[in-house]
Amino acid sequence: MQGLPLSFNDVSKAFTIKGEALRVIDGMTLECPAGSFTAILGPSGCGKSTLLRLALALEEDDGGSVKVGGDDPVLARRSGAVGVAFQDAALLPWRTVQDNVRLPFEVLGRTPDRKQIGDLIDLVGLKGFEKAKPGELSGGMRQRVAIARSLVTDPRVLLMDEPFGALDLILRRQMNLELQRIWSAKRPTTLLITHGVDEAVYLADRVVVLSPRPARVLADIDIPFERPRGPELLRDPAFHELCDEIGAHLDSGRGDA
Amino acid sequence: MNEAKRHLVTAALIAGLLIAWEVTGQMKLVAGGTLPAISAILSRLVAEFPEYLPHLAETLKTASTGFVIGNVIAVAAACLFCLFPLTERLFRGINITVFTVPPIALAPVLVIAMDGNAARITLAALLVYFPTMTAALTGLQTADPRAIDLVHAYGGGRFKALWLVRIRTALPAVLSGFQIAAPAAVLGAILAEFGSGARWGLGSFLLGSLGRAEPDRLWGIGLTATAISALGYVAAALAAKWVTGENRALGLTVSQVRSEPERGRLHKAVMVVAALVFPFVIWQVLIWMSGLSPIIAKTPYGVFEYLFLGRGAESAQTRLLVALGETVPVTLLGMLVGLLFAFLLSLISFLSPTIMRAILPFALFTQTMPLVALTPLAVLIFGRGLTVTLVITTSVTFFAAFVVLAQGFAMIPKSAFDLVDAYGASVLQKLRLIAIPACGKWIFVAGRLALPKALLGVMIAEWLATGKGLGNLLNQSRGYLDYGMIWTVALVSILLSVALYQLAELAEKLVTGGRSKK
């Protein structure tokens, strides 16, 4: 299935906290073409997660428009076109691994695709743990369940909010490899929010650097490396040069504030 | 100390207390034998058990029916409040009324307005409603927000989120609500039996046995009532333990900025007025629906007419004011004594968990005791003065306050103690510097929860022991068939209870609000 384009057009969002307005996003425009992989980098609290929540219609924008496949995000998510993984695995502790992965089907009111569920659990390396409860898994394994769940409906848009943030470096690299493999196979339009510069450069076609709150686009950088990208890319000087350049953009944003 | 050793110490302490009771009873040390030996109570209980059976069966039937009905309504209400938060605000007046209402004041009114059996079940159900509703609502509302987001992200609405995530999350909380609700149902059933002149039921059995000066029989009935309460409590506790294992939240909790809904002043004012008026509207509608004579069943206006416009209005006002003057100070005093007792107990539990482990079963035991069933015994031991009122009031108020305060003590981060330990602080210094200041807010919470119970304790003591105040006025009016006064006392004691609760809440807000500003 083909990816759907994702677009933010002059989007603004403010929160009211104790009667005071807090501008989180201020007139942001961002186009993610169908089948692209975009990584978003920015300091903590700059509104990255809010951007993703807008695309999921978990928040309403105050101005501008957010479109998923040219449609309202509410329609997109109802049609099952969107897959999501949060920083927290957000597993239901009373359900087994396979029942957690099955959850999106239940919400959408579709018949669960048993083969797809089994294949995905296999893909994220959890074969044999189908009947385990989340409490019996390590943090990394839980996060992999969440990744499997985000892919189970064959989403055309994949939204990920620091899905590997809680993992250690070794596991994180391993998960990056797996995510790249899955993405290359199915090509959903992917928006990855992350704190890790190397993770962003390694995975994405394009890295967008945001300013501190209210979020603006500071830099929009194409990542030229050939796919499939192997672990050796992490040792490539060109890779590190690009990481440094993006790191400099992040620092310049901090200087502005 | 290891686990086995701890259990041993606990068992030894419990055995010691039981032996002390037995010896005290055998030697008739308390008020000329009004505290009989356990062996005497139990042997009489066994001998007379066939006589107990029909009463026991009736109370069990009433309590369990009330338990089921009350819980079904409570869980349904909690789901409604969770799905549509506006309804919770609308029902706020009702909920506070149900929480604060002294059941003893309500029993005569229910008996007037309904068939005896329905009245008893209603009172049991009413006492069940609040603990389960609050527990269920808290459980539903504290569901993992990420899991809720996930359901929404796949297009699920609030009903889907309720069904897939919230209800299962709330299950342990609901069961812990049942723990409190089970003894409450028994209390409600016995209270209603007391006030309804029923033939069967432990309450009626007790009332019939009051005249005879047989403390071992009264203790037998009291213990039987306590046993069925405790059984309900333990069953709910076991069920709760069984489900909580799987429910512990996993992973990190991520704080999320969420917009508060903006509400104007007008909206707030409308909601407050609605919450105030709504209970009266329901009262009026229920009376209309019942089709009872206005002489027996008073509407809100009927009570107003009785108290201010009717022929005996002035005399009614005087009697009411005198009664209030007697009840209010004792209630406040009772609350303070209960709080102090709870504070000392939580302090002991904080300083010595072993002693606490021995006391806790007894403390729990007092909570499952249907208070009315033990009041006659308290009278035998403590007489009919202020002491008996304070003893009864303390026994109803301290436990809830203790749980809150112990929680306050427990929430102090261990690192705070490690810090002062590093400077060699003594136990007293740790208390003064950390434990007591940290408990400040919790004392107010405990007070708010204890006040309505204090009023209940005082009214029960007045009714059964001291012959003063609102409790006595209620009892007298029943004797004189003074329906206007029965309804008036019921209303006034509810209003008093709500007012005290709101004052305590206000005090709590002032204190905690002032603290957070610093």
Domain ranges of chain B: 28-247+268-291, 298-518
Stretch A166-189: mean pLDDT, rounded?
85
| Cβ neighbours around B193 below 10 Å, total | 29
* Three-point CA angle B426, B430, B431, nearest 5°: 120
What is the pLDDT, as a whole number, of residue A192? 94
The verdict on a CB contact (< 8 Å) between A94 and B253 is: no
A93 touches B: beta carbon within 8 Å? yes
The single residue listed with the structure tokens 């070794």 is: A170
Strand order in the sheet with A157-161: A82-85, A157-161, A189-194, A37-41, A206-210, A217-222
A132 touches B: beta carbon within 8 Å? no
Boundary residue ending a domain (A154, A169, A200): A154
- B11 Cβ contact list (under 8 Å, min separation 6): none
Question: What does residue B411 show for φ and ψ, rounded to 5 degrees?
Answer: -80, -5
* Positive or negative: CA dihedral A19, A20, A26, A27: positive
Nearest Cα of chain A lies from the Cα of B467 at a distance, in angstroms, of: 52
Give residue A33's domain range. 6-81+155-256
On whether both A31 and A115 belong to a single domain, the answer is no
Nearest Cα of chain B lies from the Cα of A150 at a distance, in angstroms, of: 10
The residue length of chain A stands at 257
Is A1 within the bounds of a domain?
Answer: no
Out of B154, B253, B254, closest to residue A108 by CB: B154
Residues from chain B contacting residue A84 (CB–CB below 8 Å): 150, 153-154
On whether both A142 and A179 belong to a single domain, the answer is no
Question: A75 to chain B: nearest residue by CA?
Answer: B155
The answer to whether A77 and A107 have CB atoms below 8 angstroms apart is no
Compute the distance between CA of residue A38 and CA of residue A31 in angstroms, rounded to an integer: 10
A91 touches B: beta carbon within 8 Å? yes
Compute the distance between CA of residue B257 and CA of residue A48 in angstroms, rounded to an integer: 12
Residues from chain A contacting residue B156 (CB–CB below 8 Å): 107-108
Architecture of domain B28-247+268-291: Orthogonal Bundle (1.10)
pLDDT tens readout for residues A183-205: 888 889 999 999 889 899 999 99
Boundary residue ending a domain (A129, A154, A179): A154
On whether both A62 and A176 belong to a single domain, the answer is yes
Out of A49, A77, A91, closest to residue B153 by CB: A77
> What is the DSSP secondary structure assignment for residue A73, as one 8-state letter?
H
Tokens representing B437? 């200041």
On whether both A160 and A236 belong to a single domain, the answer is yes
One fold for B28-247+268-291 and B298-518: yes
Size of interface A-B (CB pairs under 8 A): 98
How does the average pLDDT of chain A come out, rounded? Answer: 87
What is the pLDDT, as a whole number, of residue A207? 94
Compute the distance between CA of residue A195 and CA of residue A183 in angstroms, rounded to an integer: 20
What is the pLDDT, as a whole number, of residue B342? 87
On whether both A71 and A96 belong to a single domain, the answer is no
* Three-point CA angle B339, B468, B384, nearest 5°: 70
A22 touches B: beta carbon within 8 Å? yes
Is A37 within the bounds of a domain?
Answer: yes
On whether both A119 and A172 belong to a single domain, the answer is no
Which of the pair, B2 or A154, is modelled with greater confidence? A154
A103 touches B: beta carbon within 8 Å? yes
Residues from chain A contacting residue B260 (CB–CB below 8 Å): 16-18
Is A67 within the bounds of a domain?
Answer: yes
On whether both A219 and A127 belong to a single domain, the answer is no
A173 touches B: beta carbon within 8 Å? no
Q: How many domains does chain A have?
A: 2
A94 touches B: beta carbon within 8 Å? yes
What is the pLDDT, as a whole number, of residue B517? 37
CATH number at residue A34: 3.40.50.300
Is A168 within the bounds of a domain?
Answer: yes
On whether both A186 and A134 belong to a single domain, the answer is no
Stretch A145-163: mean pLDDT, rounded?
90
If pLDDT is split at 50, 70 and 90, which confidence band does A257 have?
very low
Residue stretches of chain B with pLDDT short of 70: 1-3, 6, 30-33, 212-213, 244-263, 354, 356-362, 364-365, 367-370, 413-415, 512-518
Question: What does residue B400 show for φ and ψ, rounded to 5 degrees?
Answer: -60, -40
Q: Could you report the predicted ipTM of this complex, rounded to two decimals?
A: 0.76
What is the pLDDT, as a whole number, of residue B122? 92
Compute the distance between CA of residue A157 and CA of residue B199 in angstroms, rounded to an integer: 71
On whether both A47 and A159 belong to a single domain, the answer is yes
What is the rounded (10 degree) CA torsion for B405, B410, B416, B422?
A: 110
On whether both A177 and A145 belong to a single domain, the answer is no
* Three-point CA angle B233, B410, B431, nearest 5°: 130
The answer to whether A15 and A21 have CB atoms below 8 angstroms apart is yes
Residue/partner pairs of A97-100 with CB below 8 Å, 24 or more apart: A97/A121, A97/A126, A97/A129, A97/A130, A97/A131, A97/A132, A97/A133, A97/A134, A97/A137, A97/A145, A98/A130, A98/A131, A100/A134, A100/A145, A100/A149
CA–CA distance from A42 to each of A87, A161, A240, A247 (Å)? Answer: 15, 12, 18, 10
Q: Is the pLDDT of residue A24 over 70?
A: yes
On whether both A53 and A179 belong to a single domain, the answer is yes
Boundary residue ending a domain (A154, A182, A208): A154
Stretch A174-190: mean pLDDT, rounded?
87
Amino acid in the structure at residue B45: L
Mutate to test the interface with A, among B150, B164, B263 (most CBs of A within 10 A): B150
Amino acid in the structure at residue B111: V
Residues from chain A contacting residue B517 (CB–CB below 8 Å): none
On whether both A123 and A217 belong to a single domain, the answer is no
Which of the pair, B435 or A53, is modelled with greater confidence? A53
Residues from chain A contacting residue B144 (CB–CB below 8 Å): 90
What is the pLDDT, as a whole number, of residue B254? 38
Out of A53, A86, A107, closest to residue B156 by CB: A107
Task: Determine the angle formed by the axes of helices A169-186 and A139-151, rounding to 10 degrees.
Answer: 10
Architecture of domain B298-518: Orthogonal Bundle (1.10)
| Cβ neighbours around B246 below 10 Å, total | 16
Question: A101 to chain B: nearest residue by CA?
Answer: B150
What is the pLDDT, as a whole number, of residue A206? 94
What is the rounded (10 degree) CA torsion for A131, A136, A142, A145?
A: 0
CA–CA distance from B507 to each of A141, B9, B304, B405, B504 (Å)? Answer: 48, 41, 30, 17, 5
